[in-house]
Amino acid sequence: MADPNVRPAYVDFDGYRLSKAFDKELLQSALNYKPTADDIFVVTYPKCGTTWTQHIAFLIYNGGRRPKDALELLRDSPFLEMLGAESMTTMKRPGMAKSHFPFSMMPYSPEAKYIYVCRNPKDCCVSFFYHTKGFSGYEFTNGTFETFFDIFYAGETDFGDYFDHVLSWYEHRDDPNILFLHYEDMKHDPKEQV
């Protein structure tokens, strides 16, 4: 039964809120990672098209071949914050990593490439609600959308405030090594966007 008093369980990492699934040492190693010229990152706020964009890139890099399973995609396109800097040294090249860091926290190099995807905040919020509700680590299986919406709107979900996150990358949309995409444009005309 839904309980409006249930809130998602988060862990604070030096002022940065994340789910309990993250390890502080791996997160710190991710923050300290020094990108190289052949690094490509798919960066989004959670539930804004990360996995879809990873799949598109995987298809491009592998001549249209789909990943055999989710593990192959994870191995070839590791989640930087979850798996740490070492995952960048063991991933297949060319390839890409995923991240949900805002620009201010993202390991940055003008030689590396960054693909940022933003999404309509209403759709992001709904998708993020179901994501949070579906993972037991959040301890939110009985949570309500109303409670989650209030948390999302206040910028108190993991990975911080949606609007601040998008704006942090939007300010760099014209940088030569950043491709800023909109989920809705990708859905409407994927060939034009890719």
Which residues are catalytically annotated? Answer: 100
Nearest C-alpha neighbor of 134 from the set 11, 13, 12, 19: 19
**Greatest distance between any 2 Cα atoms in the chain:** 51
Angle between helices 162-170 and 121-134 (to 10 degrees): 130
User: Tokens in use for 52?
Assistant: 């879809």
User: Tokens in use for 34?
Assistant: 């020094």
Q: How far apart are the first and last CA of the chain?
A: 43
